[in-house]
Structure 1
Amino acid sequence: MKIEEIYQCFLQCESISTDTRKIESNSLFVALKGDNFDANTFAQEALNKGALFVIIDNKNYYSDQDKMILVNDSLKTLQDLANYHRNQLGLPIVALTGSNGKTTTKELINCVLSKKYNTKATIGNLNNHIGVPLTLLSFDENTDIGIVEMGANHQKEIELLCNIAEPDFGYITNFGKAHLEGFGGFEGVIKGKSELYTYLQENHKTAFVNLDDPIQVEKTKALNKYTFSSSDNSDIKINSTIANPLVKVDFSNNTTIQSHLIGIYNANNINAAITIGKYFNIEDIDIKNAIENYIPSNNRSQLIEKNGNHIILDAYNANPSSMNAALTNLIQLESTQKIAVLGDMFELGSESIEEHKKIIESLKKEENINVYFIGKDFYHNKVSQKHLFFFETFDNFSKEYQNKIQNATILIKGSRGMALERTLELL
């Protein structure tokens, strides 16, 4: 069956799903395969639960010619269908990627643009080779602008996602030490993320660029771009940014935004949303209101008050770049008592031990901060200093942590697999 015919089946459906546990009536179910599962085995179950059509790629489960669409590769069909749908709609799409801050920036952009347009954006972190197609297929004829987050942990992944989404605009938050194992080091990260810039250049599209980032400047020399910076040589000048602990930004004609975001590392996420809003002719007051009303969730830079302590919960994920940014922010905060609870950073490959060691080294002289390191890689690099404490597991930490301190500023930061939000129960 040709993609045009499959698309007509899609148009008859009210939603799309790849999970039989979340099947809705009159939906299109796409049977995908993974290392440990084959959703083709659930094709009939999907129909029984109300799916209108199912796409399968295993002929052994092809039992209903009217409702089952047999293809060579279900995943490739999902991606092709999303690309076809994107081109049928013809709406402008803003794509963003980067090592840190993607989801927060995406949500801020969505808040700003929705002040004037009917926008739809990536839900949660559905930003991979499956999530991006599902995001595109959620757009409809009422969508004015689509906002697509793109994640990657190896070369050519952003290139694939760009070929599916065909973005008109792109923004890279930063290049950081994330997914070093998959990308093959920091230079590999820059190369992989810059695949978005390559697509934009080859297709004569527009990049939003932070001119205060020298790597971004170098990588976008040949691009059409709309820029922001702290200097006068950009399209949008950011007059000032401070964070103590919440970020405050001044832009344009002395418009000041007091956000609910913690840490100076979130400033450029805000600045990007301001810049994209200005490009799409959003009024300054609407940009201000949109960003000031945005409250982060899901363990991303949340400020929590508990037992007299100011807790910065940033436990959604971590890599050396975001860890250093969070610690730099903690160091500059005005607080007499500071604590950091830091968990291991994952997916660093052969550089993991060295990168954890660098974090420890950076904190040796910060004797006014009590630091609790949790995880095997931090523990491997343990040193003897009175303000640094090391625990191989979270259970060991939870058993020994007896510090019932109050009126402190506490940073909680680690990779998702460390689940450091559990620390809240100990405070």
Structure 2
Amino acid sequence: MIELPLSRVALVTNGQLIGEDRMISSVSTDSRHFEKNGLFIALRGERFDGHNFLAGAIENGAVAAIVDGKANISSVLPHVVVNDTKKAMGLLSSWVHEQCQTPTVAITGSCGKTTVKEMIASILSRKGNVLFTSGNFNNDIGVPLTLFRSKPSDDYAIIELGANHIGEIQYTTALVKPDIALVNNVAAAHLEGFGSIDGVKKAKGEIYLGLKPGSTAIVNLDSQGEALWNPVLSDKTVKTFSATSDGATVYADNIALDEQARARFDLVFQDERLPVKLNIVGEHNVSNALAAALVAKELGASQKDIQWGLAHLPNVKGRVDVEQISGNIKLIDDSYNASVPAMKAAVDLLGRFSAKRWLVLGNMAELGKESLELHRQVGEHASPFNFEHVLTYGADAKVISDECHGIHFSSHQDIIEYIEQQLQKEKDQQHTLLIKGANSTGMSKIVAALREKYL
């Protein structure tokens, strides 16, 4: 983060400085952790109030704070009083990032956006310093925390934007002020907050509102907002990608998967044809790679940069992370999150393997009144594969095991014990286990137990 005086913090956030002016060179919303010259931002939430932790923040090294007018501050700690600390945090983070004048990409989408972010960062790392979203810091708190990490030495910034309700992406995009914006895809996800698939399209399309006229909007021809996006895209430079159509700016040709389900294909950009090999599994990652390549090319990446970056992408924990945990057991950890297209892609991926195949699925979350039907669609997609084992957890996921003649469980421990018993019975055979579900279903507990048992 760039260094700035507390008086500048007050000016940027429209706040009032109480106490002496001090230099600030880091920010934290966690009262337990501070770096040098740390500013504590006291956020209020439904189940917490950061103002209650001011004493701890001082004890742990904070030199100043941002608080709201509702707080009764008796602390000697210099502080800035604002109307809303979360909005002040957004304003300040946006100002910090803007001072660094870094070419910036904003990414959203119903699924795959984290993978695309990592792909772009991998490609651009050959060209310079890349600031990019860490983990899942992609909401109205995580995005500002990412922007605070901005430095003048950054050559590129890749910022991931998530959302579970209308207006959230419009807010975070306004903070990021991107030069390039991408919607990776649109699918039935977070329907409780968005109301319908059209609500999802509207919400994801908000990212283009943050672009200046003439800036680059990148659109997936295979999954996008159609007429809903036309007004906002009318004054943008639109570039497209597609895994199926040669009418896109960049598209894939000659797609093939090796014995480990890793894709090879030709990436075609106008008259250029670039052979690409991915080191992560799944045909669905071809589309992700096209999106990443198009963004990187817009930022000046060469063919060699793109080839190398896509071939050397590190695995992301919980996102189709393949690991041989014993001589006869392959574990595919896709436990971080789940949407309908991601579930179907996981099914297709498992279908590529010839070992005893285990489909272990937890609920998809925030699907509202359509949840049961959307889970049924996943079950209908999986049924023709005739997987040897289909196990489910979570109320609506039961319909998947019903469709696939599998087994439904009421606890993680029961699933773990069943898997271990069956693996012991079938210890002379090869097994591939794919584990997936919404993060809230805790399917990572099953992954952790299996790794501890067999690795």
Same fold (TM over 0.5): yes
1:3 to 5, 12, 17: 12
**Corresponding letter in the other structure for 1:261:** I
Residue ranges of structure 2 left out of the alignment (5+ in a row): 1-9
Q: Judge which range, 93-102 or 63-72, deviates more.
A: 63-72
- 2:334 aligns with 314
- The 5 A counterparts of 1:286-297 are 286-297=305-316
- For residues 306 and 4 of structure 1, do their structure 2 counterparts lie closer, same or farther at Cα, with a shift above 3 Å needed? closer
2:202 to 181, 191, 196: 191
Q: Judge which range, 276-285 or 25-34, deviates more.
A: 276-285
Distance 1:311 1:349 in 2: 31
- 1:276 aligns with 295
Q: Could you give the per-residue CA deviations for residues 106-150 of structure 1, whole angstroms, max 9, x where no partner exists?
A: 111111112113220111111111111111121111122211110
Give 1:6 deviation, angstroms: 7.3
- 1:153 aligns with 164
- For residues 18 and 4 of structure 1, do their structure 2 counterparts lie closer, same or farther at Cα, with a shift above 3 Å needed? closer
2:266 to 250, 255, 277: 250
**Corresponding letter in the other structure for 1:407:** Q
Asked if the contact 1:247/1:264 (under 8 Å) is kept, the reply is yes
Residue ranges of structure 1 left out of the alignment (5+ in a row): none
- The 5 A counterparts of 1:155-174 are 155-174=166-185
2:33 to 22, 25, 28: 22
Asked if the contact 2:278/2:311 (under 8 Å) is kept, the reply is yes
- For residues 175 and 254 of structure 1, do their structure 2 counterparts lie closer, same or farther at Cα, with a shift above 3 Å needed? same
- For residues 121 and 324 of structure 1, do their structure 2 counterparts lie closer, same or farther at Cα, with a shift above 3 Å needed? same
Q: Judge which range, 126-135 or 202-211, deviates more.
A: 202-211
Give 1:75 deviation, angstroms: 1.0
Distance 2:402 2:223 in 1: 34
> How many residues end up aligned between the 2 structures?
424
Distance 1:236 1:186 in 2: 26
Q: For 1:88, what is the secondary structure of its paired residue? A: helix
- For residues 344 and 213 of structure 1, do their structure 2 counterparts lie closer, same or farther at Cα, with a shift above 3 Å needed? closer
Q: Could you give the per-residue CA deviations for residues 301-346 of structure 1, whole angstroms, max 9, x where no partner exists?
A: 1111133123221111112221112112322x14153221111111
Asked if the contact 1:62/1:70 (under 8 Å) is kept, the reply is no
Give 1:225 deviation, angstroms: 1.9
Give 1:79 deviation, angstroms: 0.9
1:379 to 393, 398, 401: 398
Asked if the contact 2:201/2:224 (under 8 Å) is kept, the reply is no
Q: For 2:47, what is the secondary structure of its paired residue? A: coil
Q: For 2:384, what is the secondary structure of its paired residue? A: coil
Give the CA RMSD over aligned residues: 2.7
Superposition misfits of 4+ residues, deviation over 6 angstroms:
4-11
Distance 1:10 1:118 in 2: 32
Give 1:70 deviation, angstroms: 1.7
Distance 1:423 1:133 in 2: 33
**Corresponding letter in the other structure for 2:240:** T
- 1:224 aligns with 237
Distance 1:270 1:139 in 2: 26
Q: Could you give the per-residue CA deviations for residues 174-230 of structure 1, whole angstroms, max 9, x where no partner exists?
A: 101111111112221111111112333x64421122334464697366331233335
Distance 1:85 1:69 in 2: 17
Distance 2:100 2:355 in 1: 55
Q: Could you give the per-residue CA deviations for residues 264-285 of structure 1, whole angstroms, max 9, x where no partner exists?
A: 1111111112112222221211
Distance 1:4 1:122 in 2: 23
2:68 to 57, 77, 84: 57
Identity of counterpart residues, as a percentage?
A: 33
- 1:132 aligns with 143
Distance 1:384 1:144 in 2: 50
